[in-house]
Structure 1
């Protein structure tokens, strides 16, 4: 079975959740007998040596078609379905190659992101930034918002609908996304398949050690989607009461300076900005993990935290959250935007170490259902099913 993955850029396992899950899947598939994995892009981090790169500098239907014919590709794998489905459909013409498209986010994420970027919370952050250019950009966004919203909605509708209609199979991250996708883009569910994202790390924390008094955030530092300002405001309610605890923020992004200025203006103590780092060692040491995202498809950092026994507390902003966190058992779910409730859950764990230890063990146990072996097997089954259809159509 020959698989060709196409993507708009080269990828590194640490550059995004989507890149990480694609590479994990490629490695799993390449290790299977009679499966040959090809990619239209280069890998900027080590991958299985059995993966063959066929880098295309300027992705086009013609060049993809040439690779399909030359390598006898059975299935064209399109993780960026909303961006590349039309090109993929053109590329397979004249062949019996099948297409699998995916949505690596929540349905309607484009509009949710737009709303988040012009929210009152974002404008409040202008006060902390002290950046005139940043403030002017937000004012311009507000002025053009009505027209911008129409344009984004129209574009998202066309792209996501095509991603479904032009594919042989279409993959969503959660059962909870099926109905929302159908309503948003007016399609049936006959070609839909649900496959969750896998765990990032190859092992799970064993013999859970004593954890440090650390509350952790691992995220791209981008206010529109990730809302780390809410973490800082939450910490402002706690840092004086718990001086032996600290907040660590791992990641980088366009809002990095905004958050540093905000931290200074709030007078926060015991908060550190670690920049971009490989996060596993941070998860291993931290006790509590926070997520305040406005938009998520799956929340890879949640299951990374659970793998390492770091108890997650997340705002209820995306439906797939409940696939990962069972509230009060392996983490906490709090109301969206509610920093007071988040602070109370943090205090509950700080004040009850036995409860935190119990939830930590539950997290490690529950997240094993997302191991690459279990998730990879679902992808393999899907591809084998389509490959059989491909062979039948060739015959």
Structure 2
């Protein structure tokens, strides 16, 4: 069976998310001699991308002929469309497949994320720098969001109706997807979680653990809300333990200066920005992981932290986190938007080493249910429907 993954950007594993999990699954199938061949198409490619598919193609939205020939030449059996957000890109793929090739669309976020993201972006715009159009949106935000919701609902209905199958990332997202986008027929919907992205770890190396709190994230405040974590850090920095602990922030993005300025203005101690890095070594050394996202699909970093024995403290902002974290068993869940509770939970874990180790051990064992082998098997069952 010849399977093609379709992305906006070439799937560099260092981009995280869908790119990282795709690399994990493809590597697993190859290493286990599964009877699949993998191909890839994308609209954009970054300089540091290294190809790893049987064949790949950089496509142009205005050129359907070349991509159509690529599909036929490689005898593609299934297209996995990784951009459920784009009607334009979906139509491109649909036209090139000419209704002969099944399309499995994957929705890589929480249903309803679009409105949360837009709302946060608009609310965060300073009034004195906003354009006239942005001021209108801020003034009439509820009406604007209602209009946007209607457009998003129609777009997602359209893509769902024309997809052969439609994958969301958690069982909890099936009913949420139907509710948010008014989907009546759920016959195409199924849930397949993301797999662990690192090779299976045999043990937690506590000898390498340091007094470090870790954030691994893209620097986009409307989505990741790293300011919440910095504000929680500020609340505990006067505590004597803070002189012995560091906050390590691994990532990059458009809002980096916002975070650096906050750290400087508030004189936060022991905050280290690493820049764009492979986070593996940081997971190895960290003891506590912070997540403050406004929404997530099925977050890889939350699973990666537990895979490395790092205890997560996460705000209760997306349903699928409950698939991964059981409060006070393998991590700590605090109320969404509650910076004070996050600071208290962080302080408690820093002080209480026995509790931290106990949660770490439970997380390390619990997260194995999301092994690549287990998640690959669910995809294989789906592939079998098209043989």
The TM-score, its normalising length taken from structure 1, stands at 0.88
> Which of 141, 147, 159 is residue 163 of structure 1 equivalent to?
159
> Which of 68, 88, 108 is residue 93 of structure 2 equivalent to?
88
Contact kept in structure 2, 1:212 and 1:285, CA below 8 Å:
yes
- CA–CA separation in structure 1 for the residues paired with 2:99 and 2:275: 49
- CA–CA separation in structure 2 for the residues paired with 1:228 and 1:138: 24
Q: Deviations over 1:25-72 (max 9, x none)?
A: 233344443211111136854465x63213324475544332222222
* 1:39 has 2:43 as partner: no
* 1:233 has 2:238 as partner: no
Other-structure match for 2:285: 285
Query: Superposed, which structure 2 residues align to 1:56-205 within 5 Å?
Result: 56-58=59-61, 61-83=64-86, 84-93=89-98, 95=100, 97-119=101-123, 122=124, 133=129, 142-143=138-139, 145=141, 148-187=144-183, 188-204=185-201
Other-structure match for 2:212: 214
How many Å apart are 1:150 and its aligned residue?
A: 4.3
SS in 2 for 1:216: strand
How many Å apart are 1:16 and its aligned residue?
A: 3.0
How many Å apart are 1:4 and its aligned residue?
A: 1.4
SS in 1 for 2:8: coil
- CA–CA separation in structure 2 for the residues paired with 1:326 and 1:342: 16
Runs of 4+ deviating beyond 6 Å: 134-138
- CA–CA separation in structure 2 for the residues paired with 1:258 and 1:140: 25
- CA–CA separation in structure 1 for the residues paired with 2:367 and 2:134: 39
* 1:356 has 2:356 as partner: yes
How many Å apart are 1:228 and its aligned residue?
A: 0.6
Q: Which runs of 5+ in 1 are unaligned?
A: 389-395
SS in 2 for 1:254: coil
Q: Which stretch of structure 1 is more off in the superposition, 107-116 or 155-164?
A: 155-164
- CA–CA separation in structure 1 for the residues paired with 2:15 and 2:144: 28
Contact kept in structure 1, 2:196 and 2:370, CA below 8 Å:
yes
- CA–CA separation in structure 2 for the residues paired with 1:326 and 1:212: 24
Other-structure match for 1:391: none
Count of equivalent residues: 377
RMSD between superposed Cα atoms in Å? 2.4
Contact kept in structure 2, 1:23 and 1:47, CA below 8 Å:
no
SS in 2 for 1:252: coil
Change (3 A) 1:151 1:10: farther
- CA–CA separation in structure 2 for the residues paired with 1:161 and 1:87: 17
Change (3 A) 1:368 1:138: farther
- CA–CA separation in structure 2 for the residues paired with 1:94 and 1:338: 49
How many Å apart are 1:139 and its aligned residue?
A: 5.1
